[in-house]
Amino acid sequence: MRNLTIYLTGFLCLFLTNLFGQATFESRAKDIAAKIETITKEEKAALKTEVELINGQLESGAITAAQAESQKQQVADKRAKNIETRVASAEEELKALVQEKVDGKISENDSVHKKNKISIGWDNKEDRKKKEENGEPRTTSQFVLAGGFNNLVTDGAVANSDFGYLRSVFFEWGFTHNTRILKESNLLHFKYGLSFTYNMLTATDNRAFVDTGNQTVLAVSPHHLRAKDTYFKNVFLELPLHLEFDFSKNETKDGKKIFRSHQGFRMGFGGFVGYNVNSKQFLSYKENGYRIKERQKGNWNIDDWNYGVSAYIGYKETSLYVKYDLNPMFKNNAVDQNNISAGIRFDLN
């Protein structure tokens, strides 16, 4: 939960950076994003190689179809875990960067270029100059960061929720491609990508989830739980798809239209489909003078797949963002509860 507070602070800093034109914080954040992208690509390439080896064994008759599917699932889970573990170090860099900003070590006069240091940024100088002269290519890519509040909709409402409104949060990071649909207009774009989403719920009244076998319900804990360190977390690998309306102004140079995205008012509507990577519950309490932390991992009767609708509206790289799961969080509970998230989203172009 502390990490999510730090991330949200980072998002606020990014927002202020965009408003006041301070380039250093944003460029360093984008450099960290590039590291995360490299990690993701490496693990995806390794997964592809492992799957090809399994397919080869299946074709040669060394293993059965059932064994092949089981092995594919195992290597997919392993690579997803590797991404989560390796990205942790990049997340530590992000936290350190945010702390520098909070401590005032990054001033308004800081420049991206410093003596005896290489400039860090999303694009190199040549690429930026080319974009300024010729505009963007028809398909661009973005690093997406989002965070905010998370809860469950019960009987069509979030009111009187069993979960703390301020203590239940979500965090999302990923990569998208943004393709301009019309050749001579910048209005319509198709936005698609891949992201990791962390949905966290903190129950009220000293309660925690209990798996009864067929259902997962809230029950009062026999321990006095520390609310800030007790929460339930779902992690999904998601494929987001959006139709984006971009009202960025066009330019004309030598009779040719120059298109640039993320330079004006934007809004997107669409949805997502995801696969549950893991579900865990974290409990923290004191017993006999000792602080005890439990990490409970299991199925929790969570659907393997989630799908839903999402939308965002904002200006330039910063947007307000909302997501709603159309399928219930738990498969067999007597009352359907659907996850809903709302917060701030950054599309770093």
Last residue of a domain, one of 54, 82, 102: 102
Do the strands 216-220 and 207-211 form a parallel or antiparallel pair, or are they unpaired? antiparallel
What is the band of 247 on the pLDDT scale with cuts at 50, 70, 90?
Answer: very high
pLDDT in tens, 165-189: 999 999 999 999 999 998 888 899 9
In a domain, 109, yes or no: no
CA 322 to CA 269: how far, in whole Å? 10
CA 93 to CA 95: how far, in whole Å? 5
In a domain, 321, yes or no: yes
What is the band of 137 on the pLDDT scale with cuts at 50, 70, 90?
Answer: confident
In a domain, 120, yes or no: no
Same domain for 142 and 95: no
Same domain for 167 and 78: no
In a domain, 112, yes or no: no
Number of domains, the chain: 2
Same domain for 144 and 96: no
In a domain, 243, yes or no: yes
In a domain, 13, yes or no: yes
CA 198 to CA 171: how far, in whole Å? 5
Q: Give pLDDT, residue 119.
A: 36
DSSP assignment, residue 330? B
CA 245 to CA 186: how far, in whole Å? 8
In a domain, 40, yes or no: yes
Domain that holds residue 199: 135-348
| pLDDT > 70 in the chain, percent | 80
- The beta-strand segments (E) located in 155-246 are 169-180, 188-201, 207-211, 216-220, 231-246
pLDDT in tens, 256-273: 778 888 889 999 999 999
Same domain for 214 and 322: yes
CA 269 to CA 159: how far, in whole Å? 25
In a domain, 111, yes or no: no
At position 276, the amino acid (one-letter code) is N
pLDDT reading at 156 higher than 70: yes
Same domain for 308 and 189: yes
